[in-house]
A and B are shown apart, each in its own frame.
Chain A
Amino acid sequence: MQKKPILALEHISKNFPGVKALDDVSFSLRAGEVHALLGENGAGKSTLIKIMTGIYRQDIGRILLNGEEIHLHSSAHAQRYGIAAIYQEPMVFPDLNVAENIFIGHTDQGLVVNWGGMYKKAEEILSTLGVSLDVRSQTRGLTLAAQQMVEIAKAISQDVRVLIMDEPTASLSAHEVEQLFALVRVLRDKGVAILFISHRMEEIFQIADHVTIFRDGKRISSYAIEEVQQERLIQDMVGRELEAMFVRDFRAHGDQVLSVRHLSKEGVFDDITFDLHEGEILGFAGLVGARRTDVGLALFGIEPADGGEILLRGKPVHIQSPAHALELKIAYVTEDRRQLGLSLSMSVIANLSLPQLGKYLNLLGLIRRKHEIETAERYRQQLNIRTPSLWQEAGKLSGGNQQKVVLSKWLNTDPQVLILDEPTRGIDVGAKAEVHQIINDLAGKGIAIILISSDLPEVMGMSDRILVMREGRQMGIFKRAGTSREQIISAAMGMAEGEAGA
């Protein structure tokens, strides 16, 4: 506590359309400390990092470096102040060698690159870090861990004073994590301030000196690590206010529609087993990297599974392509609307009928536009899609209305299984409530729904049962009734108390 803060954020707020990403956040980092940042997805951690590295600008608030206010324009600008970030996926140039990567972006080398000097300096930096890497080897082919070392060396070469590490351990093996932590300690002892983000609780207790918890864009609490217990941190992450206004009429379920047995995909997910009934909503909860989406992709045939069984109404099926999944009446509303869900340059009408064009043909095999327009008009009214015209390009609609178009598009395929991947991400509160209402009504009509969501209140409020995943493994299936948010979070973070029956 004695040390003076290097980097201080004061009363930072940042708004995105419809979302308050950061709300009056004050936060500081001291030299020679490892400060862990904890929070659920969407708590505001990423936004905070982006503001600290100059990628976003705060709406309100000040950033102080050694007590002086700075205005960051870009990440290159932030690097000049000694603020650097490394991510889960290292951003190296694969065709350049280690030394070139370390010194990329340095302009103080004169007209000609001094290769000998560069290699020597690169070796020096790596040796102070206790890393043995051939500075002349290409970075392509290095392990992720080694690439991260290169990135850290790059930060050192730029006299880093604040190093932000955003889930650096997510893709590393246990041994590599140990190596990384050794390096983090070296940096800390050199007086670098380190902001460390991880979803693995045990790592935070292993490496961090302080921990700060974020929730809903606010800083909730900060502790010195030796003064705090896991349970306390989880409570702070989850918050106390309980699921308030989720419309969900719980009814008895119908027949079993889908039965998934020991579904696996090498290196992605393993041994996923669940049943799904008509009118049931099965939530998929988990943190970033839990591989929930990959299970969805497998069920829709985009990235087919390579082990286990899928039974549809009791019959085994091998879903190999989206076209095949469509035939089986499985629909998948993707997480990424813009990249995967919609053709932005096409009209609302054309987007809606795309998976079902075969149903709109007349005897000559031509599209009956009138029929198409009728469908679009029906969904516009039923889902309350707000657009000046159905001929409007989908790209011009707001996020919430785009989401409704995507939903309509898949509802129009008359699915028996509907997979919804983050259906309310990035849409405003009003549209969110509407989408929840729609999901509820769909379940009421007997559609079996898989709801993948990082929004914990949403999963808990909407689902009958919740399947929790962590790093590709199924941690358990929890009944909605009698399960607390703490239990779900604990399971998602891989802590012992997450054991529960299916």
Chain B
Amino acid sequence: MTTAAPTLGQPTRLSRSRGLASRFLVFATSQEFVLLLVVVLLFAVVGNTNPRYLAERNVLNIFNGNAYIAVAAVGMTMVIISRNIDISVGSLIGVLGTVSGSLAINGYPIWSSWLVPILLGGVVGAVIGFMVAYLRIPSIVVTLGLLSILKGGLITVTNGAWITDMPDTYFLAQMRTPEISLLGINIPAIPSPIVIMIVLTLLAALWMRYSPTGRAIYAVGGNAEAARLSGISEKRIIMTVFIINGLCVGIAAVLWATQLSIIQSTVPAGLELQVITSAVVGGVSIMGGVGTTIGAMLAAILLSAINSALVFINVSPYWFRAVVGVLILITVLTDLLRRRRTQA
């Protein structure tokens, strides 16, 4: 039964075109659209100065270079939207990458060296989720603790021994799609990380938009109390978010490890910051409730493109971090301004 609410007042019937116009405005001012424009602009400007920047090889490198970051950023996007944070992802990538390599050189089937780290990531995510949702420990504290445990534990267990001589079939990240020719257009061989990044990002974006759980993640991050009053279980949502995040980190770890010929059994420095930066520059609000995985992916690509561009326009790569810093501040500032207008 549907409750027909009362009839009163003059129905304000807005014309369809105005609705469309307003939807277009929302789209055109979205972080995703702006990022896309910036990426295209960057390619155009730098490509104009140095055409080699636009060479197929370089473009693929740009997309490929940060693909595992973008994959981790899919999970991070959900975590931040739910108004949490995970600063242990860098360490976890290091640990799971090491696990992956160890499995591969110790005679376990190759598929298990890909799958086990992913599942293990899910388990770690569940542990974080449990502590955040049920023990009510702030996620920054839980993951700060985990970061130290993983980092220290990895060194203790492996003594920093390098993992080398993985079997040839191990290098998932170095595989490519076959070159195909479709309707006279040659599609080059795409490295698998790019494919995985795009598929995962789009699936996650659709899931966030069309599934009740996805919607609930936004609701919990936007206003946890209102979500609870609407009958949504905040605990269940936070568990879900951290498990998915763990799985994403697992995939990212496999992509990271399988592109290296030597796994150094250490934690790559500052990885978690790159992942968080991608999410934040991608328009995910650090206050929760706002953002998409597509934005985060575009930001990861943009960062990679800027890094590469600095080389091509002969600017010291040391500038990269400063540029990233400026980007973060600009995005957070626009987010705050947008919010201030909302709350006014």
Chain A residues in the interface with B (C-beta under 8 A) = 300, 302, 321-323, 326, 332, 334, 339-346, 350, 354-355, 357-358, 360-361, 365-367, 369, 378-386, 388-393, 395-396, 408-409, 411-412, 414-415, 434, 437-438, 441-442, 444-445
Contact = CB atoms under 8 A, between A and B. Distances in A.
Interface stretch (B3-11, B91-99, B101-109, B146-154): B3-11
A386 B285 CA distance: 27
Contacts of A340: 223, 225-226, 229
Contacts of A323: 231-233
Given A388-B22, A441-B8, A396 B341 contact: yes
A175 to B, nearest CB: 36
Interface string B1-32: 11111111111111000110011001000000
Contacts of B228: 322
B222 A345 contact: yes
B210 A369 contact: yes
A380 B12 contact: yes
Contact of B342 (A357, A393, A444): A393
16 contacts: A300-B229, A322-B229, A340-B226, A343-B222, A343-B223, A346-B289, A354-B230, A360-B212, A379-B5, A381-B13, A382-B6, A382-B7, A396-B341, A414-B1, A437-B6, A445-B6
Given A326-B231, A332-B229, A442 B6 contact: yes
B211 interface: yes
B219 A346 contact: yes
B136 interface: no
B215 A350 contact: yes
Q: Which 8 A-B residue pairings sit nearest by Cβ, starting from the closest?
A: A441-B6, A343-B222, A384-B9, A395-B342, A323-B231, A381-B11, A389-B22, A345-B289
Contacts of B231: 321-323, 326, 355
Contact of B219 (A302, A354, A379, A438): A354
Contact of A341 (B4, B5, B226, B342): B226
Contacts of B339: 345, 395
B4 A382 contact: yes
A434 B23 contact: no
B340 to A, nearest CB: 10
Contacts of A367: 209-212, 215
B226 A343 contact: yes
Given A340-B226, A345-B289, A354-B227, A366 B13 contact: no
A217 B14 CA distance: 38
Contacts of B248: none
A355 B123 CA distance: 30
Contacts of B130: none
Given A322-B230, A334-B229, A367-B212, A411 B222 contact: no
B5 A411 contact: yes
Contacts of B289: 343, 345-346
A438 B1 CA distance: 19
Given A367-B209, A388-B18, A393-B342, 14 more contacts: A300-B229, A341-B226, A342-B226, A343-B227, A346-B289, A380-B12, A381-B11, A382-B5, A384-B8, A384-B11, A395-B343, A396-B342, A408-B5, A414-B1
Contacts of B209: 367
B218 A344 contact: no
B62 interface: no
B290 interface: yes
A343 B230 CA distance: 11
B338 to A, nearest CB: 9
A365 to B, nearest CB: 7
Interface string B77-101: 0000000000000000000000000
Interface string B290-334: 100000000000000000000000000000000000000000000
Nearest to A247: B8
B240 to A, nearest CB: 14
A391 B6 contact: no
Interface of B: 1-14, 18-19, 22-23, 26, 209-212, 215-216, 218-219, 222-223, 225-233, 285, 288-290, 339, 341-343
A381 B10 CA distance: 8
B285 A382 contact: no
Contacts of B218: 343, 345-346, 350
Contacts of A393: 342
Contacts of A357: 212, 215-216
B8 A382 contact: yes
A441 B7 CA distance: 8
B212 A414 contact: no
Contacts of A344: 222-223, 342-343
Among B7, B22, B222, the one with the most A-chain Cβ atoms within 10 Å of its Cβ is B222
Contacts of A346: 218-219, 222, 289
A323 B230 CA distance: 7
Nearest to B214: A367
A302 B230 CA distance: 11
Contact of A358 (B22, B26, B210, B212): B212
A254 to B, nearest CB: 16
A354 B343 contact: no
A353 to B, nearest CB: 8
B22 A437 contact: no
B264 to A, nearest CB: 42
Contacts of B229: 300, 302, 322, 332, 334, 340-341
A411 B2 CA distance: 9
Contacts of A382: 4-8, 11
A390 B20 CA distance: 11
B219 A412 contact: no
B215 A391 contact: no
Given A302-B229, A323-B233, A441-B6, A391 B26 contact: yes
Nearest to A300: B229
B25 to A, nearest CB: 9
A412 B230 CA distance: 12
Contacts of A342: 223, 226
Contact of A411 (B3, B26, B232, B342): B3
A188 B11 CA distance: 60
A489 B289 CA distance: 43
A371 to B, nearest CB: 11
A361 B218 CA distance: 17
B23 A355 contact: no
A447 to B, nearest CB: 8
A68 B17 CA distance: 60
Nearest to B223: A343
Contact of A437 (B8, B10, B216, B343): B8
Contacts of B5: 378-379, 382-383, 408, 411, 438, 441-442
A213 B19 CA distance: 50
A493 B142 CA distance: 50
